[in-house]
Amino acid sequence: METKRILLITGGALALILLQAAPARLHAQSMPAPALSGQVTSAEEGPMEGVVVSAKKDGSTISISVVTNAAGRFAFPAGRLDPGHYTLKARAAGYELDGETAADVSTGQEAKAEVKLKKVKNLSAHLTNAEWLISIPGTDEQKRFLLNCTGCHTLERILKSTHNADEFMEVFHRMSLYYPGSTPLKPQRLVGTATRDVERGGNGRKTAEWLASVNLSEQPTWTFPLKTQPRLTGKSTHVIITEYDLPNPLIQPHDVMLDREGNVWYSDFGQMFLGKMDPKTGKVTQYPIPVVKPGSPEGTLDLEFDKDDNPWVGVMYQSAIAKFDRKTEKFQMWSTPKEWDTDGGQLGHLAIEGAPLDHKVWIKNSDVGNIYRLDLISNKMENLGNFKDPQTGKRIGTYGIHSDAQNNAYLLDFSAGNIVKIDAKTKIPTVYRTPTPDSRPRRGRVDGEGRLWFAEYQGNAIGMFDPETEHMTEWKVPRRGAPRMTPCPTATAMPGPAPCSPTTWRAWMSKPASTRNTCCRAPPTSAASMLTIRRTPARSGSAATTAHPSSRSSGSTRVRSNLRVWFWTPSASPSLRHTHLVGTRGFPCPERGRGEPQPACAQGICKKSISLVRLAGCGPYLEPASNCPALWYTVLDPICWHLDPN
């Protein structure tokens, strides 16, 4: 399927963000005059590098942002800002605007604006979740528990609370009675006997005591220093960010995908809507999803597109899935049979990739983990039950179900370290273990060769399972501060409009792996979480015929197109990092070494909100390429990375 895909983890995001590379020459004097330029300074630092400056036209829902260079200067390229009056904002950890700043943009004239910043009086209000994690005292085990929270919640509310340990235990219990998509603006209670495990395998009492020791229950202010992360520098400042406001604060885009026309679709985790946005105008259309289980919590999760480019969603505690027909703009709903349904029934995940073969859709019910299969001809479901780890006897905790071209299903065991393959014909499950124990695989995609790619939330790695060889490969995410990898051959392999010649690339790829530059392989240390994959054929002149270690079978060599994997890690301490695999690209090795952060996405761009980002470039610093398809993915205080699995 050519549909571009992305996953958005749960949260109350109020904006969609488009991020694309600005070429290094953006600040060069040879470029045409920008629409708006200026300098950011402060009394403490003078000219400030790495400050995100945003411009929003009066009456518009779209904001454009750029980042200041080493001289503190910023420039909005001509053509990015239409004529009009713009309000300017700035983002730099620990600073705020020293007075309002605005500018009037006119066609053919360069507008000027000087932005003054001052130190904030209340630094705590500016900290991201990552900065709270590096600030608060505690062990890695204690902080790791909070990774169960930060996908949805801000830590600021916890750290500013005055709850003691007993009161935190009451809070935990109360949380177990609410739908995970609840917000202070729209709390949703579960119904009947339904509850949720909010401790997620941790020790609730010990966690409560630790949180009470670091919040404000025993003192009027914190005894530990508040820490911020460094701002962007160098080439990482060469980016342009486009941010789209969504219509109301209740919208929680969970999964986000693009259709073949380039429209942006999102599932709403807290409401019964399927959303569509035109990225050119920012116009948002919300299609109301029928309520089929009145009284139960409302919201959707998994979003997929079928071969006809129609979106499907899992409608969670409504215990149903829905297909939206784009021609008729009507929904078709399939609900859990009443004799199977429970108060806690929730159909959040589905797999439709293999449905064209046998007209069957795989569905996961999170209540006791049952796997259903829907027959689209008879409109009946069959219940395959839940599956257990043969070694531990524990139930497979599926978070992500995906199917291949033969409509075999893959379950990703978020509670342990298992990949379960269910044979479409025999319905027999086979359990495969990830090389890293308890890696907690979460979300994945099956590529065009039938291989399952997935992210390891706790294993800090990107994984790939090859069903042909039954071999599983991991690429560990490099830790921040690790030694740089040897760079690739200079610009000969740069994935821009003028990539390296086929001869140069093939000659480089033909070298033995032991002597080839190491930048095309991941280093041995690392971190990972959720995944989206989009298969892209290698461009002419950039493909290489190589025998991958996990692809050799009976002496044969499989021809593999070049593949690049993009993913992000929250910028917490390295030992606490979890990763979100966001996509793949078929491009040659860039000039900068693999395993280095892609600073264009580093912390400081989106503060606390979970946002949707699109990369329109494809180089190591997102250098623009005219034939580079866009990739959408999520950001939550991230560091962006790329990996060449070859």
Q: Which tops the pLDDT comparison, 611 or 127?
A: 127
Q: Hey, is 234 helix, strand or coil?
A: helix
Q: Which pairs from 616-619 meet CB under 8 Å and 24+ separation?
A: 616/18, 616/19, 616/20, 616/21, 617/20, 617/21, 618/495, 618/564, 618/585, 618/587, 619/21, 619/494, 619/495, 619/496, 619/590
Question: Percentage of the chain with pLDDT > 90?
Answer: 60
Looking at residue 156, what is its pLDDT? 93
Distance of CA 100 to the CA centre of its chain: 33
246-255, 359-368, 414-423, 490-499: the lowest-pLDDT one? 490-499
pLDDT exceeds cutoff 90 at 436:
yes
pLDDT band at 17 (very low <50, low <70, confident <90, very high): low
pLDDT band at 645 (very low <50, low <70, confident <90, very high): low
Give the residue-averaged pLDDT of 569-587. Answer: 35
Question: Percentage of the chain with pLDDT > 70?
Answer: 69
Residues pairing with 335 in the sheet: 320
At 275, which helix (H) or strand (E)?
A: strand 273-277
Please tell me which of 13-17, 141-145, 285-289, 457-461 the model is most confident about, judged by mean pLDDT.
285-289
119-123, 421-425, 553-557, 635-639: the lowest-pLDDT one? 553-557
Rounded Cα distance between 329 and 369, Å, is: 32
Looking at residue 406, what is its pLDDT? 97
Instruction: Please give the structure tokens belonging to residue 603.
Output: 């912390």
Q: Hey, is 311 helix, strand or coil?
A: strand
The string of pLDDT tens digits covering residues 386-418 is: 999 999 999 999 999 999 999 999 999 999 999
66-75, 154-163, 566-575: the lowest-pLDDT one? 566-575
Rounded Cα distance between 227 and 33, Å, is: 38
Contact 65, 52 (CB under 8 A): yes
Contact 494, 500 (CB under 8 A): yes
From residue 275, give the alpha-carbon distance in Å to each of 247, 258, 314, 326, 488.
10, 11, 14, 12, 42
Give the residue-averaged pLDDT of 262-284. Answer: 94
**Mean pLDDT score of the chain, rounded to an integer?**
76
Q: Which tops the pLDDT comparison, 2 or 313?
A: 313
- Contacts with 318 (C-beta within 8 Å, 6 or more apart), sequence order: 272, 291, 292, 293, 296, 297, 298, 335, 347
The string of pLDDT tens digits covering residues 214-230 is: 999 999 999 999 999 99
* CATH assignment, 255-433: 2.130.10.10
Give the residue-averaged pLDDT of 484-504. Answer: 31
Helix axes 165-175, 204-214, angle to 10 degrees: 120
- Contacts with 69 (C-beta within 8 Å, 6 or more apart), sequence order: 27, 49, 237
Instruction: Please give the structure tokens belonging to residue 644.
Output: 């060449």
Write the single-letter amino acid at 538.
Answer: A
Closest to 135 in 3D by CA, of 153, 160, 162: 160
For residue 476, report the phi and psi dihedrals to the nearest 5 degrees: -75, 140
Question: 111-119 and 36-42: which strand pairing?
Answer: parallel
Closest to 638 in 3D by CA, of 618, 611, 617: 611
Write the single-letter amino acid at 424.
Answer: A
If DSSP states are collapsed to H, E and C, what string results for 235-268? HHHCEEEEEEECCCCCCCEEEEEECCCCCEEEEE
For residue 567, report the phi and psi dihedrals to the nearest 5 degrees: -155, 170
Closest to 197 in 3D by CA, of 212, 177, 211, 170: 177
pLDDT band at 590 (very low <50, low <70, confident <90, very high): very low
Rounded Cα distance between 46 and 49, Å, is: 10
Rounded Cα distance between 96 and 63, Å, is: 18
275-289, 385-399, 508-522: the lowest-pLDDT one? 508-522
At 205, which helix (H) or strand (E)?
A: helix 204-214
- Contacts with 121 (C-beta within 8 Å, 6 or more apart), sequence order: none
- Contacts with 250 (C-beta within 8 Å, 6 or more apart), sequence order: 183, 185, 186, 270, 271
pLDDT band at 18 (very low <50, low <70, confident <90, very high): low
Q: Which tops the pLDDT comparison, 632 or 148?
A: 148
Q: Supply the Cα-derived Rg of the chain in whole angstroms.
A: 24
From residue 519, give the alpha-carbon distance in Å to each of 21, 61, 136, 378.
21, 41, 35, 52
One fold for 24-123+229-237 and 255-433:
no
Give the residue-averaged pLDDT of 363-387. Answer: 96
Looking at residue 15, what is its pLDDT? 54
pLDDT exceeds cutoff 80 at 5:
no
Question: 611-615 and 15-21: which strand pairing?
Answer: parallel
- Look at phi and psi of residue 427 and say left if phi exceeds 0, alpha if psi is from -120 to 50, else beta: left
| Domain residue spans of the chain | 24-123+229-237, 137-214, 255-433
Burial (CB count within 10 angstroms: exposed 0-12, middle 13-18, buried 19+), residue 68: buried
> Helix, strand, coil % (nearest 5) of the chain?
15, 35, 55
Global pTM reads 0.74
Does 24-123+229-237 carry CATH code 3.20.20.70? no
Question: 52-57 and 95-97: which strand pairing?
Answer: unpaired
pLDDT band at 276 (very low <50, low <70, confident <90, very high): very high
pLDDT exceeds cutoff 50 at 527:
no
Looking at residue 145, what is its pLDDT? 84
Looking at residue 22, what is its pLDDT? 52
Q: Which tops the pLDDT comparison, 535 or 326?
A: 326
Closest to 27 in 3D by CA, of 17, 38, 19: 38
The string of pLDDT tens digits covering residues 85-104 is: 999 999 999 999 999 999 99
pLDDT band at 441 (very low <50, low <70, confident <90, very high): very high
